[in-house]
Amino acid sequence: MSEIDHIEDAQDHEKYTRSSSPKDHMEKILNPQEEAAREFVESSKRFKKAGKGSFYKLVFRYMIRNKWWTIGILISVVIVAVSTAITPKIIEQLMLSVEYKIKNKLDLDSANKWWGLQWQSVVYIQLGFLILLAASTYCSQWIAGMLGKQIEVDLRNDITKKLIELDMSYYSDKKIGEILTKVVSDTQILGEQTGIIPVTTLTALLTLVFSIISLATIDVTLTFVAIGLFVLIFSSFGLAYIPLKKLLYNLRKSITKTNGSVIDRINTVKLIKASGTEKYESERFVEMHKEYHDNYKKLNYSQSVMLTILFLGINSIQIILIVIAASLYKDTPDYLKLILPSLIIAIGMMIGPIMALLRVVVGLMQAATAATRIEEILEEKTRFNNHFEDKQGIHIDKISGDIHFKDITFCYPEKPDKVILPNFDFTLKEGKSYAFVGETGAGKSTISKLLLRFYDPTKGQVLINNNIDLKDVYLSSYLNHVGYVEQEPSILLGNVYDNVRYSRFEASDEEVINACKKAELHELIMSWPEGYNTILGERGFMLSGGQKQRLVIARMFLKDPKILILDEATSALDNIVEKEIQGKLDELMKGRTTISIAHRLSTIKNVDQIIVLGPQKGIVQIGTFEQLKTTPGHFKKLYDAGQSKNDL
């Protein structure tokens, strides 16, 4: 290699925030208590920030969005509850009808309660309610299932939209695996539980209310006793739910971290194989799963204790009420004998909803944890007011005139104390080509990030089109006229047409083919069995580094941007192919404002002006290639170092 090839400041930034070296991980393994304490503090902060009852708040918002499904659930659930709760009253009427049939008379209290129907009529009424119960139960379950799936889809769409809108700084310390767990797993949990929890909760509560009303028509005193016992049960629910919810949150957080680490290591499996660190990685995963196992152990213990106590209490209610009824009405055995069957059925009907609510608690803990984690994404604030739906800001039909970096000072939001660009003031003349070079951390790539508005300046303005601040522009309309070829080519899962046509979707197949010809890619594509319909695979795994880069260059030929940003566009190509592609790029650069982030100095010999940046100094030199290579300073040091490597 004949030129300096050094690491750009953005890569330093990513390494700083990720801290993913084996040494760092080994320190975490050797200091588990310190790491566990830090993780506990972070999880507690996130847990408190999300607030309580987030599942119901989140689901209610989406149920309102799907109001007709929600109304259908409410109607069917009310019918289910009424049809269920009426059973004790019908049993009472059946007992009264049978007694009248046998004795041909009733005492005064019983006569006042009797509807005057024969026992056959009462049976038919009960059959009618059973049919109604079956139909309404089917409707409630079917609608709830559809609503749950719709909410799952809505949530996933909203999270994906939010992740696309979020600023680049959001991803600086996030693992893709952790984000994917929230997008896929947590939304699926919410969708499934939405189809269960609201319907079960409403059905149980309404059945409980109607059962209490039904019981009150049988005996008021025993009704109040039953209410007191159930209030005690519900209080136990509330006391047990809060600590369990937090334990489950920590459990989900640990498995999310593990999933993220697995995906991260799969993506870097070549590094593992090349480093011979298979044993280290295996031991590391064992240590990571210990945290997950310990969190589950705590949750399982607390959950088992809670369920045992609650089951014991619930199953004792019937016996307690029978004992109380026997004590209250020991002097009126005929009355006790008359109400006892209805009382047993009524209490059984009330225990059913309580048991259903108990099952809901477990699902609710999972759903509430998933809702908390999803809300962490949905409530994340964006700095840029450029949502692609509301289309706020100034719309740019074309880019004309110079681009002015006016009094720019820039620090990464994640490291606000470290100044990357101090007092940077420079104008990019329309149609001219520029290259930015400098040492690691000098801010070369920051220039491209500001132009792409991955970040805003900490101070100052980026001005386009006769002094329009880039902050005031609707970003998509501006980026339609900007082309970006990065150091690591971005290849989508799809065929060649999909990849080259990306961001200019209306382009014809013929235009795509012409762009590939300009990038010297057409012959290679035609050698594949499927030609341009060949699926390239995730991240273009079937392509070499140079082929990926040429595909991105073809994308730029097709887009035909007014501003072209080249982040060492030919760095992955061999010397012969580099010269061919560089000639095509020189042709593409004509008449456009071009910014090159230079690592290999041979690629910037023909630019109009080179800007040399110094770490935390801003601009230290400006000139052409021929001027700077002979002028003492930063650029000459870089050039001489490259020549020395070439001599070696």
CATH assignment of the domain containing 406: 3.40.50
Q: Is 563 helix (H, G, I), strand (E, B) or coil?
A: strand
- Name the residue range of residue 25's domain: 1-29+388-479+614-648
User: 595: part of which helix (H) or strand (E)?
Assistant: strand 593-597
In the prediction, which pLDDT does 270 show?
55
| 487 belongs to a structural domain | no
Q: What is the 3-state secondary structure (H, E, C) of 263-285?
A: HHHHHCHHHHHHHCCHHHHHHHH
CA neighbor of 611 nearest in space, from 621, 626, 597: 621
**Strand-strand pairing, 618-623 and 609-614:** antiparallel
Whether residues 404 and 437 share a domain: the answer is: yes
Query: Between vectors from CA 344 to CA 342 and to CA 349, what angle results, nearest 5°?
Result: 90
CA distance 575 to 594: 22
Residue 390 vs residues 104, 385, 393: alpha-carbon distances, Å: 77, 9, 9
85 and 234 share a domain? yes
Tell me the residue type at 463: L
Residues 286, 230 within the same domain: yes
Q: Using alpha carbons, list the distances in angstroms from residue 92 to 19, 239, 322, 337, 575.
A: 72, 37, 17, 11, 95
pLDDT the model gives residue 427? 92
Residue 523, in any domain of the structure: no
Q: How far apart are CA 531 and CA 223, in angstroms?
A: 78
DSSP one-letter string for 53-72? THHHHHHHHHHHHTHHHHHH
Same domain, 193 and 237: yes
Residue 6 and residue 599 in contact, taking contact as beta carbons nearer than 8 Å: yes
Q: Which of 378, 398, 431 is the last residue of a domain?
A: 378
Residue 8 and residue 448 in contact, taking contact as beta carbons nearer than 8 Å: no
CA distance 366 to 196: 12
State the Cα–Cα distance between residues 296 and 290, nearest whole angstrom. Answer: 10
| CB neighbour list of residue 147: distance below 8 Å, 6 or more residues apart | 63, 66, 69, 70, 73, 194, 195
Q: Say what the alpha-carbon torsion angle 266, 268, 269, 273 is, to the nearest 10 degrees.
A: -160
Nearest to 381 by CA among 124, 640, 130, 166: 166
Structure-block tokens of residue 141: 């379950």
**Strand pairing of 609-614 and 433-438?**
parallel
User: Is residue 17 domain-shared with residue 69, that is, in the same domain?
Assistant: no
- Residue 339 and residue 250 in one domain: yes
Residue 492, domain member (yes or no): no
Contact of 549 with 572, CB cutoff 8 Å: yes
Per the structure, the count of domains in the chain is 2
| Strands across the sheet containing 459-464 | 419-428, 403-411, 459-464, 468-469
Helix (H, G, I), strand (E, B) or coil at 217: helix
Return the half-sphere exposure (C-beta side, CA atoms, 13 A cut-off) of residue 26. Answer: 7
**Angle, CA 420 vertex, CA 418 and CA 425 arms, to 5°:** 135
Q: What is the CATH number of the domain that holds 159?
A: 1.20.1560.10
Residue 141 in contact with residue 69, Cβ under 8 Å? no
3-state DSSP assignment of residue 178: helix
Domain boundary among 378, 400, 433: 378
Is residue 64 a part of any domain in this protein? yes
Please, what's the largest Cα pairwise distance for the chain? 123
Give me the pLDDT at residue 17, please.
36
**Of the residues 378, 396, 424, which one is the last residue of a structural domain?**
378
Q: Identify whether 572 is part of a domain.
A: no
Please give the full DSSP string across 364-410, using - where no structure is assigned: HHHHHHHHHHHHHHHTPPPS----TTT--SB--S---S-EEEEEEEE
In the prediction, which pLDDT does 165 show? 76
What's the pLDDT at 570?
66
Report d(CA 347, CA 67) in Å as an integer: 34
82 neighbors 208 (Cβ within 8 angstroms): no
Q: Is residue 383 part of a domain?
A: no
For residues 286 and 237, state if they share a domain: yes
Tell me how far apart the alpha carbons of residues 509 and 599 are, in angstroms, rounded to a whole number: 34
Task: Examine the domain organization and report whether 80 and 225 are in the same domain.
Answer: yes
Residue 249 within any structural domain of the chain? yes
Taking phi over 0 as left and psi of -120 to 50 as alpha, with beta for the rest, 239 belongs to alpha
* Inter-residue contact 459 to 452 (CB < 8 Å): no
Q: Which residues in the chain come in under a pLDDT of 70?
A: 1-53, 105-112, 172-178, 237-238, 240-242, 245, 249, 252, 256, 259-260, 263-276, 362, 383-391, 537-541, 569-578, 581, 642-648
Strand, helix or coil at 590? coil
Amino acid (1-letter code) at residue 313: G
Cα 175 to Cα 42, 79, 164, 207, 256, distances in angstroms: 16, 48, 15, 46, 10
Contact by Cβ (8 Å): 409, 458: yes
Pair 11, 106 in one domain: no
Q: Whose structure tokens read 């010269």? A: 579
* Residues 6+ away with beta carbon under 8 Å from 227: 212
Strand pairing category for 593-597 and 563-567? parallel
Q: Are residues 149 and 262 in the same domain?
A: yes
Q: Does residue 182 sit in the same domain as residue 69?
A: yes
Pull the structure tokens for residue 19. Answer: 């801290």
**166 in a structural domain:** yes
306: left (phi over 0), alpha (psi -120 to 50) or beta: alpha
Domain identity same for 130 and 91: yes
Question: Cβ neighbours of residue 86 under 8 Å, at least 6 residues apart?
Answer: 129, 210, 214
User: How far is Cα 63 from Cα 194, in angstroms, rounded to an integer?
Assistant: 9
Report pLDDT digits (tens) over 128-176. Answer: 888 888 888 888 888 888 888 888 888 888 888 888 777 777 776 666 6
What is the C-alpha separation between 140 and 200, in angstroms, rounded? 10
